[in-house]
Amino acid sequence: MEDLHLASIVVSTIRNAPVLMFAAMAGLFAERSGVVDIGLEGKILASAFVSAAVAYTFQNPWYGIAAGIGVSVALAMIQAFVSITQKGNQLVCGIAINIAMSGLTFVVAQFFFQQGGRTPDLGEARLTDVILPGSAALENIPVIGWLYGHVIGGQSVLVYLAFILVPIVHWVLYHSRFGLRLRACGENPHAADAAGVSVERTRYLAMLVAGVLCSFSGAYLAIVQSGFFLRDMSAGAGYLALTALVFGNWRPLYTVLGCLMFGLFGAVQIQLEGVDLPVVGRIPGSLIQMIPYVVTVVVLAGLMAKSVAPKALGKPFVKSR
Amino acid sequence: MKTTELPRWATGFVLPILNLLSALLVAALVIHLLGESPVESMQILINSAIVNPEGLAYTLFYASTFIFTGLAVSVAMQAGLFNIGAEGQMYVGGLGITLAMLAFDAGLPAWLLIPAGMLGAALFGGLWAFLPGYLQAKRGSHVVVTTIMFNFIAASLMNFVIVKYMIPEGEQNPASRVFSEAAALPPLNAWFPVLGDTPLNISFLLAIAALVIYGVMMTRSEWGYKLKATGLNPHAAHYAGVRISRTIIVTMVISGALAGLAAVNSVLGSTHYLSLNFPAGAGFVGIAIALMGRQHPVGIFLSSVLFGALIQGGFDLSLEKPNIPQETFIFIQGLIILFCGAMENFYGPAVLKLINLTKRN
């Protein structure tokens, strides 16, 4: 059991969570406004590829992040057009985006880099970790040195952004005029409409925010966590983020807890690989990979939390005459 | 007089064609941007998938698999359930076949062995869809997300089972042992030598039979009526005495069984052993087929042949044009789902206007 290091589990939980946190907060905006966002997965994948490709080409991670925002917002706008203007099936649209992006990212990556749908290693173009001042001085003090240098400090800017966004998202959703309108559109669009709120405009805005937030998830995956783009590298993160949303009852703080929980499972999963456990022995890697998906089903089955979705979720708004 | 609703020939024929053309137009644009000629690519595709008889046989071989996955998604869709899990159900169905073969292929004759394999496929596929169906019906967990999760779980589980238990001693390749001769589905080239050495087999005929049964059940049976009523308005159906949760669970099991049967063509018709990731996306193709074919038996058949042709032609195309790899067709599949599924009424208003214009004159 001494192979299971608590310290490295804590650190890698913090590093795993942002992928899900950005995506879950994106989904929060979309779904609280009444648009189902199954397409998170495709947006993560597309922005991961574009950020990695642009960051590599210009050897600058910031250009990569900017380009990632662009492509994720473009996809979100397609989704918004289909779901809001066309009043089409939002689930089908999301799945379509996920499948299309799974194919297109490979094709384009192959076209530009010819490495089997992978981008070259980003090397210097990777986003570096922030080293807080005084980390070196505190390094030798037990606990505090580790906490200051490797938990609070020593993370990438995007990790800080993910955690700073949580109170901001909470404030926007519950204390701003936009947030009130957004929630009204998700719960009772006809009432919102009667009160003079443009349901279509609010939902478009929500999708715009979702597009921006979701792009960070892909950028983080490619230019912080991995340092390259790999085919289908999102591996279900978009769906896990949606599940965190269900787990968190579509409320920001609880949703983030859900993301941290999945991050923790990911961290434990890496630790468990190739380790002899008491009683069960060595668990094969393929079974360990299954854990987050099984947990998702358990969460969705309502065995861990009872949740209530926004009432108008997934229903196109037709103005009554 | 002005029409406000589109006639059936428009919704059933004109709109799907327009949607499909839009998807192909976007695909052509992407192929153009990749530096290849869309027209030339189209010619290669048609030549390889339809004109050449061996190519046509491959097209129909792939189509036989797709008809089953397309039916699986369609049955669920008729009941208002969006089953994304056909991929995983087909994969697990392959395990059902393999277990039946490993147990019986030494002793049983072909006419007993093949039905045993089909039974195993349907049973395992159906079981894999049971839990998502049960959770949807009883716990309200959305079937879309649970079936996606079951795809991931199936992938890990099958990886584990194949690597740990299936690889014969002394072998490295992650696959089961090869089944006996008796387990091979009779190929159609015995009757049509022009098809050449292709894997097209009787499962094509089985697929056609499944389409007919599906069509009859949907339009002529009480069960089909209940199923469609559940899909159109569960509250009204419940009020009329349909047991909603039972219908949902049974539909999901049937859907999973059909997806499982799709494995019969791949495993018993072509490879004759169980290999890693053998469904290769056929379950997801089923989604595109169900949406494009509007869950109608004829539509499912035509869309399946189209996708069979895209896969077969796409394979030859990727050999000739390295810039258009096989994955291009995953992208095209997504486009078809987008245009034929999510934006199915995109051209509706325009077509309606056109009809009204011609009526006035």
CA distance B82 to B148: 11
Structure tokens at B102: 């490993």
- The chain A residue lying nearest B161, using CA atoms, is A286
Residue contact A286–B160, C-beta within 8 A: yes
pLDDT at A26 over 70: yes
Q: What is the reported pLDDT for A79?
A: 92
- The chain B residue lying nearest A300, using CA atoms, is B141
pLDDT at A306 over 70: no
Residue A107 lies in a domain: yes
Rounded to 5 degrees, φ, ψ at A233 are -70, -15
Task: Quote the minimal CA–CA distance from A274 to chain B in Å.
Answer: 15
ipTM at complex level: 0.86
Q: Residue A94 is part of which domain span? A: 6-126+141-300
Q: State the virtual CA torsion across B29, B33, B35, B40 in degrees, nearest 10.
A: 0
Element (H, E) at B297: helix B297-320
Coil, strand or helix: which one is B275? Answer: strand
CA distance B150 to B160: 15
Best B32, B77, B141 member to test A by mutation, with max A CBs in 10 Å, is B141
Structural domains of chain B ordered from first start: 40-354 (1.10.3470)
Sign of the C-alpha dihedral, residues A99, A102, A106, A112? Answer: positive
Q: Is the CB of residue A318 less than 8 Å away from at least one CB of chain B?
A: no
Instruction: Please report the DSSP string for A279-313 in residue order.
Output: TTEEPPHHHHTTHHHHHHHHHHTTSS------TTT
Residue contact B149–A98, C-beta within 8 A: no
CA distance A283 to A281: 6
Q: Between A131 and A305, where is the model more confident?
A: A131
Q: What is the reported pLDDT for A157?
A: 84
Looking at the DSSP bridge assignments, the partners of residue A277 are: A281
Residue contact B287–A302, C-beta within 8 A: no
Contact present, A44 and A237 (Cβ < 8 Å): yes
Q: What is the CATH number of the domain that holds A264?
A: 1.10.3470
pLDDT at A5 over 80: no
Determine the Cα angle at B240 with ends A317 and A315, to 5°: 10
pLDDT for B192-228, tens place per residue?
887 778 889 999 999 999 999 999 999 999 999 999 9
Structure tokens at A164: 């700073």
Rounded to 5 degrees, φ, ψ at B297 are -50, -45
Task: Quote the minimal CA–CA distance from B166 to chain A in Å.
Answer: 15
Q: Which residues of B221-237 are buried (b: 16+ CB within 10 A; e: fewer)?
A: eeebebbbbbbeebeeb
Task: Quote the minimal CA–CA distance from B82 to chain A in Å.
Answer: 8
Alpha-carbon radius of gyration of chain B? 21
Chain B residues 86-145 with CB within 8 Å of chain A: 131, 135, 139-142, 144-145
Q: What is the reported pLDDT for A305?
A: 55
pLDDT at A166 over 70: yes
Structure tokens at B70: 């397309």
Residue contact B150–A117, C-beta within 8 A: no
Q: What is the reported pLDDT for A279?
A: 67
Task: Quote the minimal CA–CA distance from A201 to chain B in Å.
Answer: 20
Q: Between B40 and A142, where is the model more confident?
A: B40
Q: State the virtual CA torsion across A227, A228, A230, A236 in degrees, nearest 10.
A: 40
Q: What is the reported pLDDT for A321?
A: 66
Q: Contacts of residue A85 in chain B, CB cutoff 8 Å? A: none
Residue contact B342–A300, C-beta within 8 A: no
DSSP state of A276: E
Distance in Å from the first CA to the final CA of chain B = 11
In the chain, the amino acid numbered B61 is: F
Q: Between B327 and A277, where is the model more confident?
A: B327
Mean pLDDT of chain B: 90
Which of B132, B126, B50 is CA-nearest to residue B84? B132
- Nearest CB among A97, A289, A294 relative to B334 is that of A97
Coil, strand or helix: which one is B177? Answer: coil
Task: Quote the minimal CA–CA distance from A301 to chain B in Å.
Answer: 6
Q: Where does the pLDDT of residue A300 fall: very low under 50, low under 70, confident under 90, or very high at 90 and above? A: confident
Q: What is the reported pLDDT for B195?
A: 78
- The chain A residue lying nearest B321, using CA atoms, is A111
Q: What is the reported pLDDT for A2?
A: 44
Q: What is the reported pLDDT for B87?
A: 94
Q: Is the CB of residue A243 less than 8 Å away from at least one CB of chain B?
A: yes
Looking at the DSSP bridge assignments, the partners of residue B187 are: B201
Residue contact A290–B345, C-beta within 8 A: no
Best B22, B29, B134, B148 member to test A by mutation, with max A CBs in 10 Å, is B148
Q: How many CB pairs under 8 A join A and B?
A: 143
Task: Quote the minimal CA–CA distance from B141 to chain A in Å.
Answer: 5
Q: What is the reported pLDDT for A77?
A: 95
Q: What's the Cα-to-Cα distance from B89 to each of A261, B83, B157, B158, rounded to whole Å?
A: 28, 10, 12, 11
Contact present, A173 and A183 (Cβ < 8 Å): yes
Coil, strand or helix: which one is A113? Answer: helix
Most confident region among A41-50, A128-137, A285-294, A298-307 by mean pLDDT:
A41-50
Coil, strand or helix: which one is A19? Answer: helix
Look up the pTM and report it. Answer: 0.88
Residue contact A104–B153, C-beta within 8 A: no
Rounded to 5 degrees, φ, ψ at A281 are 80, -150
Domain total in chain A: 1
Q: Is the CB of residue A289 less than 8 Å away from at least one CB of chain B?
A: yes
Residue A222 lies in a domain: yes
Q: Is the CB of residue B325 less than 8 Å away from at least one CB of chain A?
A: yes
Indicate the range of A218-222, A224-228, B251-255 predicted with least confidence: A224-228
CA distance A108 to B31: 11
Best A113, A115, A243, A290 member to test B by mutation, with max B CBs in 10 Å, is A290
Cα-to-chain-centroid distance, residue B95: 18
How many Cβ atoms sit within 10 Å of the Cβ of residue A216? 28
Q: Contacts of residue A293 in chain B, CB cutoff 8 Å? A: 149-150, 152-153, 156
Chain A residues 60-99 with CB within 8 Å of chain B: 78, 82, 86, 88-93, 95-99
pLDDT at A125 over 80: no
Q: What is the reported pLDDT for B280?
A: 87
Determine the Cα angle at B81 with ends A92 and B161, to 5°: 95
Report chain B (361 residues): mean pLDDT per 10 consecutive residues.
75 84 91 89 89 91 96 95 93 95 88 92 96 90 87 93 88 87 84 82 94 94 92 91 93 97 93 90 90 90 92 89 87 88 83 83 62
pLDDT at A3 over 50: no
Residue contact B338–A82, C-beta within 8 A: yes
Structure tokens at A188: 């009772």
CA distance A54 to A96: 25
DSSP state of A316: P
pLDDT at A124 over 80: no
Q: Residue range A42-46: average pLDDT?
A: 95
Q: Residue range A198-212: average pLDDT?
A: 93
Q: Between A251 and A116, where is the model more confident?
A: A251
Q: Where does the pLDDT of residue A216 fall: very low under 50, low under 70, confident under 90, or very high at 90 and above? A: very high
Residue contact A103–B333, C-beta within 8 A: yes
Coil, strand or helix: which one is A277? Answer: strand
Most confident region among A254-258, A298-302, B255-259, B283-287 by mean pLDDT:
B255-259
